[in-house]
Amino acid sequence: GQQLNQSPQSMFIQEGEDVSMNCTSSSIFNTWLWYKQEPGEGPVLLIALYKAGELTSNGRLTAQFGITRKDSFLNISASIPSDVGIYFCAGKNYGQNFVFGPGTRLSVLP
């Protein structure tokens, strides 16, 4: 079946630094979603992308739908301690269900 890869698997950054992570697929998708999950809770939707090349922001978060339609990127600017969590990407093509990546675990050091 389809698989998504997320990079990096985990990252430790200093508070105030910018963060970049990406998600790649072996298949073309028409929708990309980015979620954040905190310990003991369900994933919370951050950003949805529906068009190749699309760049969408949500506060300090910016995500892009790759032009090849096989990748997506999430950037977090000026990280703060509450950004800690696991970030998941999810991709979908027409008539199919979402496929989720394994996640990028973000730790923010004060």
Partner 1 sequence: TAGITQAPTSQILAAGRSMTLRCTQDMRHNAMYWYRQDLGLGLRLIHYSNTAGTTGKGEVPDGYSVSRANTDDFPLTLASAVPSQTSVYFCASSDTGGPVYNEQFFGPGTRLTVL
Q: What residues make contact with partner 1 under the rule CB under 8 A?
A: 1, 4, 31, 33, 35, 40-45, 48, 50, 88, 90, 92, 97-98, 100-103
* Residue 45 Cβ vs partner 1, minimum distance, rounded to whole Å: 6
For residue 99, what are the β-bridge partners?
91
Which amino acid makes up residue 37? Q
For residue 76, what are the β-bridge partners?
19, 61
- Reduced to 3 states (helix: H, G, I; strand: E, B; else coil), residue 68 is coil
Name which of 10 and 68 has its Cβ closer to partner 1. 10
Name which of 42 and 59 has its Cβ closer to partner 1. 42
The answer to whether residues 22 and 109 touch, using CB atoms and an 8 Å cutoff, is no
Name which of 77 and 93 has its Cβ closer to partner 1. 93
* Residue 98 Cβ vs partner 1, minimum distance, rounded to whole Å: 7
* Residue 44 Cβ vs partner 1, minimum distance, rounded to whole Å: 7
DSSP string, 3-24: -EEEE-SEEEEETT--EEEEEE
